[in-house]
Amino acid sequence: MPEGPSLVILKEKTEKFKGKKVLAVSGTAKADIEKVKNQVVKEIATWGKHYLIRFAKTTIRVHLLMFGTYTINERKEDRQPRLSLKFSNGEMNFYTCAVKMIDEDLDEVYDWSADVMNEKWSSVKTYKKLQEQSNSMICDALLNQEIFSGVGNIIKNEILFRNKIDPRSRVGAIPDKLLKALIRDARTYSFLFLEWKKKFELKAHWQAYHKKECPRDHTPIHKSNTGKGKRQSFYCTTCQKLYN
């Protein structure tokens, strides 16, 4: 599943369509996508893992889910796009994704302070939300998009390793200073993710995700499905402390 930084890259790649009129729209999406034909793109934005194309009276929301992909100025010959938008200066196509129309004001729909890639992100608000999840495992809390919008499994595993926290730790048991450091690192690492992704070297910087050995202790990295979400976690039981 593409994480927040990857959506920012998509946003940057498609900024050229801002201010352009949709000349043609097609796709297998059940949403009423036809209503954006002849409409001008007012803004390209993201919220976590949501890609947003805003028009005067509506917004197209694209969620790439687990296996969604996109192409710009080309099409996959053997695939029918879920959404295709053509402009005078190119086109964009989305596959294996969820498409939804949003007619409400985006400020009423989204809490921008939760998005780790957004300039309005707030560590204070994030901390308050985490305090309400004191009995949750930290691995679940980090993937809660209402708290850490844009954080996915890669970022989750890497920042827990960087901060030496076992993913099975209970939020309320993690020392306050360490919890606040983890919150800040969620944003810091997300921007490192963005930098490395642009250089095509993201995997080279992984320390725990899909690794076999801990680079700190040279002991085996454990892999298991943790938390209520049963998402894969990669962690070292030697240097990542379990807080219960």
Structural domains of the chain in order of their starting residue, each with its CATH number: 4-109 (3.20.190.10), 122-235 (1.10.8.50)
Summarize the confidence of residues 201-219 as an average pLDDT.
Answer: 98
pLDDT at 34: 96
Q: pLDDT per residue over 154-168, tens digit each?
A: 999 999 999 999 999
Summarize the confidence of residues 96-105 as an average pLDDT.
Answer: 97
Q: How many CB atoms lie within 10 A of CB 191?
A: 14
Amino acid at 186: A
* 3 state DSSP class of 45: strand
pLDDT band at 89 (very low <50, low <70, confident <90, very high): very high
List helix spans (H) across 113-230. 123-131, 138-142, 153-162, 176-198
CA angle in degrees (0–180, nearest 5) for 205-211-216: 75
pLDDT at 59: 98
pLDDT at 1 over 80: no
